[in-house]
A and B are shown apart, each in its own frame.
Chain A
Amino acid sequence: MHHEEEEDPMDLVCCGLKIGQRVPDFKIATFEPSKGDFGEFSFSTQKKDNKKWTILFFYPADFTFV
């Protein structure tokens, strides 16, 4: 390929959940400082058993700043 591949702006349209959408069930491996152990966060458990609000806080990388 010798021609420059230009990014189609439409490809960059944020895929991902929209405000107002139901969040699908997901699970994620965790480290839990309160227990000092590894665990798992299950969103379906959060909805069914805990019935609590969830705040997901994404960030780029451990051991960095800001």
Chain B
Amino acid sequence: MGADVVTISCDTQYVHLAWQKDEKMLADVKYPMGADPTGNLASLFGVYDEEKGLALRGTFIISPEGVLLNSEVNFFNMGRNIDELMRKFKANLHLAKKQNEGCPSKWKEEGDKTLVPSADLVGKVFEALQ
């Protein structure tokens, strides 16, 4: 799909190996499982909980040029919606090709209506989205 996913927790790579081998739900995992036991990478992204020594549930989307474009961070007890992650990623792909456009809140996939910000659009967003 054009993105490399890397999962990261503060477990070591050895624990990742053991977990992936043990948990049936991870049997089909193909992405690298990153180990951040020092919490340095989690701290860089502002998701390291020093007291617990654990990373919060943070997802970050980075462009091929290396710019951080999206972040979503939840507290430990709330999972993230993967459909929403897919939506944001697809929107990023579209916007990388159409740099004069914006994806409105209801945009879900390629083909949905976008907006082209301009002086003409001011006060006319409702009409533009029909």
* A interface residues with partner B (beta carbon < 8 Å): 14-24, 26, 28-34, 38-39, 41, 43, 46-47, 50-63, 66
- A59 B7 Cβ-Cβ under 8 A: yes
The answer to whether A26 touches B16, judged by C-beta atoms less than 8 angstroms apart, is no
Answer whether A56 and B9 are a contact pair too, CB < 8 Å, given A20-B68, A30-B34. Answer: no
Contact flag A28-B36 (CB < 8 Å), given A33-B20, A57-B59, A66-B79: yes
CB distance from B18 to the nearest CB of A (A): 8
Contact A53 B45 (CB under 8 A): no
Known contacts being A30-B33, A54-B4, is A24 close to B16, with CB within 8 Å? no
Using Cβ atoms and an 8 Å threshold, which residues of chain B touch A63? Answer: 15, 19, 22-23
What's the Cα separation between A19 and B68 when bound, in Å?
5
